[in-house]
C-alpha cells in the first residue's frame, strides 16, 4: 500500500494553537500511521499562492486545515474541483464545519481519519466571487460576527453578549429574492445562505439541510418582538426553528438577493463587507472531505 502524503496548513492565530504542540503530535502520528507529511504555517503574505505552490511541490493526497472555519474555507477554495481530500483538524474558536461533519475533537482522532476515514463529496456555495463551505449571511448574525472578531475574548458567552446587544437595537431590512423563476420581497432581520445546518455555537439555522443534495437554502428570520428571543434561541438549539412563525426557508440551486440598503455580509465566520446585491449558486459535489467512517451523518445523503 502506498504511503499517503498530507500537507498540513496550520493557522498559527487559531484559538487553540498556543495550547498544544501540533507539530509534535503530527510527527508522532505519522510514525504510527505511516503517512508522509509536510507543514505550511500561515503568515501575513499571499497564503493562497503559497499554499498552491506547496501543493504543486508536494502533490499531496490530503490537505489538512488546522484552524477554524476560516482556515477550512481557505483550503476549500484552493482544492475544490480536484482529487485532493480535505481533512479538518478543528482548532478555532467555533469550528462549525467540524461539528457539522462530526469530526472528532481530539487531534489524534482527527489524524486517524487519514487511514480510517471515509472520503465523501460535498457541495460548496458560491457567494458573489467567494466560496462558502458552511454558512454565509447578512443582517443580525453578520453584525454579531463583526463584533466577535473585534473582541479580545472568545467563546459562547462572548457571542451571547454581542447577540443580546444586537437584538436590543434590532434592525430590519427589505430584500428582494429572485429564485426558481420567481421574485418575492421579504422583510427580515437576517438572511442565511446555508450550505450546512448549524453555527459553530451549535445553534441550528437550517434544520433540514443536506451537504450533498445539490441545493442550498435561504433561511429567513423575520422581524420578531424582543420577548421572542429566548424562544427562538431555544428552537435553534432544539432543531425546531422551522416551526417558528418568524422563520421561513427557500430551497434553490441559484438565487439573486438585493438589499434595499447596503448590509454586512459574512462568509464562514469572516466579514466580507457591505453589499447591496448577492449572487448565489450551488456547486454540486465540488469538494472531497474525510469524515468518520463508522458514524451516521444526518446532514449527508448516504
Domain boundary among 54, 89, 116: 116
| Contact call for residues 282 and 255 (beta carbons, < 8 A) | no
Domain count, the chain: 2
In which domain, by residue range, is 98 found? 5-116
Say what the pLDDT of residue 16 is: 55
State percent of the chain over pLDDT 70: 88
Secondary structure class of 226 (helix, strand, coil): helix
The residue-averaged pLDDT of 162-185 equals: 77
pLDDT the model gives residue 12? 83
Model confidence at 118: pLDDT above 90: yes
| Element at 270 (helix H, strand E) | strand 270-291
Query: Worst-scoring range by mean pLDDT, 151-155, 174-178, 215-219, 258-262?
Result: 151-155
CA distance 128 to 243: 30
Model pLDDT, residue 21: 87
Q: What is the pLDDT of residues 236-280, one digit of tens each?
A: 888 999 999 999 999 999 999 999 999 999 999 888 999 999 999
- Here the CATH number for the domain that contains residue 89 is 3.40.50.10330
Beta bridge partners of 291: 118
Q: What is the pLDDT of residue 149?
A: 53
Confidence of residue 171 (pLDDT cuts 50, 70, 90): confident
Asked if residue 94 and residue 165 are part of one domain, the reply reads no
The pLDDT tens digits for 15-32 are: 655 567 899 999 999 999
Assign 145 a pLDDT band (cuts: 50, 70, 90): low
**Are 95 and 162 found together in one domain?**
no
Helix locations, the chain, DSSP H: 22-33, 47-58, 69-79, 96-100, 107-116, 140-150, 156-168, 229-237
Q: Is the pLDDT of residue 286 over 60?
A: yes
The reply to whether 33 and 143 lie within a common domain is no
Q: How far apart are CA 280 and CA 127, in angstroms?
A: 5
CATH code assigned at 228: 2.60.200.40
Per-residue confidence band for 150, with pLDDT thresholds at 50, 70 and 90: very low
* DSSP secondary structure code for residue 84 in this structure: P
Mean pLDDT of 190-217: 92
Q: Which of 33-37, 226-230, 281-285 has the lowest average pLDDT?
A: 226-230
Q: Quick one: 134 and 274 in the same domain?
A: yes
Asked if residue 267 and residue 151 are part of one domain, the reply reads yes
pLDDT in tens, 62-83: 999 999 999 999 999 999 999 9
Cβ proximity of 264 and 273 under 8 Å: yes
Q: What is the pLDDT of residue 153?
A: 55
**Same domain flag for 152 and 107:** no
Q: 255 and 201 in one domain?
A: yes
CB 242 within 8 A of CB 219: no
Distance, in Å, from the CA atom of 26 to the CA atom of 181, rounded to the nearest integer, reads 50
Q: Are 92 and 163 members of one domain?
A: no
**What whole-number distance in Å separates Cα of residue 257 and Cα of residue 279?**
6
Amino acid at each position: 500500500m502506498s504511503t499517503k502524503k498530507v500537507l498540513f496548513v496550520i493557522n498559527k492565530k487559531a484559538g487553540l494553537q498556543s495550547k498544544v504542540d501540533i507539530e509534535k503530535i503530527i510527527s508522532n502520528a505519522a510514525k504510527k500511521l505511516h503517512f508522509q507529511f509536510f507543514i505550511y504555517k500561515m503568515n501575513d503574505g499571499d497564503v493562497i499562492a503559497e499554499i498552491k505552490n506547496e501543493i504543486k511541490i508536494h502533490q499531496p493526497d490530503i490537505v489538512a486545515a488546522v484552524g477554524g472555519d476560516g482556515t477550512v474555507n481557505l483550503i476549500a477554495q484552493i482544492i475544490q474541483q480536484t482529487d485532493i481530500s480535505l481533512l479538518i483538524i478543528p482548532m478555532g474558536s467555533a469550528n462549525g464545519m467540524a461539528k457539522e461533519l462530526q469530526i472528532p475533537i481530539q487531534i489524534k482522532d482527527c489524524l486517524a481519519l487519514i487511514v480510517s476515514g471515509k472520503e465523501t463529496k460535498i457541495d460548496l456555495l458560491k457567494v458573489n466571487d467567494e466560496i462558502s463551505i458552511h454558512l454565509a449571511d447578512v443582517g443580525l448574525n453578520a453584525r454579531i460576527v463583526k463584533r466577535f472578531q473585534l473582541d479580545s475574548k472568545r467563546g459562547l458567552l462572548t457571542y451571547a453578549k454581542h447577540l443580546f446587544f444586537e437584538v436590543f437595537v434590532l434592525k430590519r431590512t427589505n430584500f428582494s429574492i429572485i429564485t426558481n423563476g420567481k421574485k418575492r420581497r421579504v422583510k427580515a432581520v437576517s438572511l442565511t445562505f446555508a450550505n450546512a445546518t448549524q453555527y459553530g455555537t451549535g445553534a441550528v439555522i437550517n434544520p433540514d439541510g443536506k451537504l450533498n443534495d445539490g441545493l442550498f437554502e435561504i433561511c429567513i428570520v423575520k422581524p420578531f418582538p424582543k420577548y421572542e428571543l429566548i424562544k427562538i434561541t431555544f428552537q435553534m438549539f432544539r432543531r425546531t426553528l422551522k416551526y417558528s412563525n418568524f422563520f421561513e426557508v427557500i430551497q434553490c440551486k441559484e438565487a439573486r438577493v438585493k438589499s434595499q440598503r447596503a448590509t454586512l455580509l459574512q462568509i464562514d465566520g469572516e466579514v466580507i463587507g457591505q453589499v447591496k446585491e448577492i449572487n448565489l449558486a450551488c456547486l454540486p459535489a465540488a469538494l472531497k472531505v474525510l469524515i468518520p467512517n463508522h458514524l451516521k451523518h444526518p446532514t449527508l445523503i448516504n
